[in-house]
Each structure stands twice: as C-alpha cells, then as structure tokens.
Chains A and B, each alone.
Chain A
Amino acid sequence: MWSYEKRLQFPVNIKEPNAKIAQVIMSQYGGPDGELGASMRYISQRYSMPYNEVAAILTDIGTEELAHLEMVSTIVHQLTRDLSMEEIEESGFANYYVDHTVGIWPMAAGGIPFNSCEFQSKGDAITDLFEDMAAEQKARTTYDNILRLVHDSDVCDPIRFLRAREIVHFQRFGEALRIVQDKLDSKNFYAFNPEFDRCKS
C-alpha cells in the first residue's frame, strides 16, 4: 500500500528548456541505472527477504526512489515543455518526439527502452545487497557524468541532491549487508541461502 504527497522531494523549477540535456537526464528515469529500475529492484527484493530490518530498508529506499523518479521526470518535462519545432529538429530530439511527442517514457539516453533485465532480484540476501550497493554507485557515477554535461544551476541543484542520496543509500545497504552477515555462519557466509534454505536459519 502506498500513499502520495503532492510535492517533490526537492524543488525543480527550470526556466530554460533544453532538449539536448533532457535526452541525457532521461537515462536516470528509464536507463540501466535509473530511478525506475532502482525502485523496482528494492521493492521486488523485499518479499523473500527473511530479516525485518532489511525488508524495512528495501521498502523505504524503494519508496524514496519513487520520489526520485518523479523528480527526474519533472526535470525532463520542464526541459522539453514549450519547445519549438525548430528546437526539436536541431537538438536531435526528433527521434524521441516522433514516438512520444513531449510525453515522459522510460528509456536510456542511447534509446534502449526500459527493461526489467536492468535490475536483479536474485532471491539471495548477500547477492541482492551487493547488487543494491553497486546500483547506488552506478547511479552516483551517472549523476557525476550528468553534472559534467550540465551547467544550468536550475538543473544541477536537484541532480546534486539526487547524487547525494545515492551515497547515503549505499551506506544504508552496507549496514543491511552487515545485519545479514551477523545472522549467518561467520565461518562461511555462503553455507546456506537464508532466503531459501529455511532449515538452517
């Protein structure tokens, strides 16, 4: 069950449209390390996670990622509203425009549609938490790359906020991994999979 608050987690008020930058930032909506994949990854991994604290962090970070994909969608929307046909043609936005006009649709900057293969739900606590820690770092790198390409402070400020959250989430998933390992056999963390081998836990 979820409920919605009618506000962004961090304000986005972009005054200048820029379709070139929109095509790059779109990747953090529907790209390989984007916020849509992040949210679905954590929310999907919860169900077979046997430790309550870890299910809690997956739920709460998965929920915060929904607020992040709303921010990224808002950035893309505000960068593409009020575009002239000339700007669309000159900025290389025509390929997106022909299929989606200026609607929001999840894809990578390179044009690859969003696909659930971009995240994993492996049903193994150690495997999934390493995936989650790597995912946060990959998203942080993508935001670093975006910040090298973007110079409009209206766009950079919310991107910097999102980048900082990746670092905090990496920390929280690291703590979650420690919680899991504390509950496993310290001589062999891989002796059994706590999400599957019930009898050993």
Chain B
Amino acid sequence: MTPQNKSDRSRLFHDIGVIDFVIVEMNEYLDTHPTDKEAIEYLSHYVRMKNQAMREYAAKYGPLRISDADNCNEGEWKWATQPWPWEGGC
C-alpha cells in the first residue's frame, strides 16, 4: 500500500468512527426524547453520511459490515483476510 493510500484509508476510517459516534449518541438520546424532530433530522443526516462513507470504504478497502459486501468485487473475501480491530490495523 502506498503512503497516499494509507492516509486516505485512515482518514476515511477515522471519519466513519466520528460519524458513527454521533449516531450512537443521537440514537440513545432519541430513545428517551422520541418526539424531538430536530434530533431526528440531525440523526438522519449522519445516517446518510455514514452509509456513504461505509460504501466508499467497502469499495476501496473491503467491507466493515456484511451489508456493504456487495460493493467490493475483487475476487477476495476481504472481510476474512484483512486485520481484525483488536490487531490495531487501520
């Protein structure tokens, strides 16, 4: 992997973590404030952002969830062959 690739990959991976943190936080907030329309809109925006980032990551580097596994057709099951989260990896 070239340094260029690695930095794009780490940036995208980091962005996914940040975006998903907003989703987790808003999801739990909405559970106890289910009629907060502004919060629902805010969450929806981040869900769309996450789906886009997850699709892009899967296409470039392999899927982070099985629901994106249709977006990486390189003849290798990267889900299994790439490092696992506890190994540090990306």
Known: A6-B65, A10-B17. A57 touches B85 (CB 8 A): no
Question: What residues on A are CB-neighbors of B46 within 8 Å?
Answer: none
At the interface, yes or no: A45 with Cβ under 8 Å from chain B?
no
Tell me the interface secondary structure of chain A in the complex: helix
Within 8 A of B (CB), among A42-75: 53, 56-57, 60-61, 64, 70, 73-74
B86 lies within 8 A of A4 (CB): no
Distance of A174 from chain B, by nearest CB (Å): 9
B31 lies within 8 A of A64 (CB): no
Which residue of chain B lies nearest to A75 when distances are taken between CB atoms in the complex?
B86
Q: How far is the CA of A57 from the CA of B13 in the complex (A)?
A: 27
At the interface, yes or no: A186 with Cβ under 8 Å from chain B?
no
Distance of A165 from chain B, by nearest CB (Å): 9
B88 lies within 8 A of A176 (CB): no
Residues of A at the B interface (CB closer than 8 Å) are: 3-13, 53, 56-57, 60-61, 64, 70, 73-74, 77-78, 168-169, 172, 175-176, 179
List 17 contacting pairs A-B, 8 Å CB cutoff, sorted by A. Answer: A6-B65, A6-B85, A8-B85, A12-B86, A13-B88, A53-B31, A53-B34, A57-B32, A60-B24, A61-B28, A74-B85, A74-B86, A78-B88, A169-B28, A172-B29, A172-B31, A175-B33
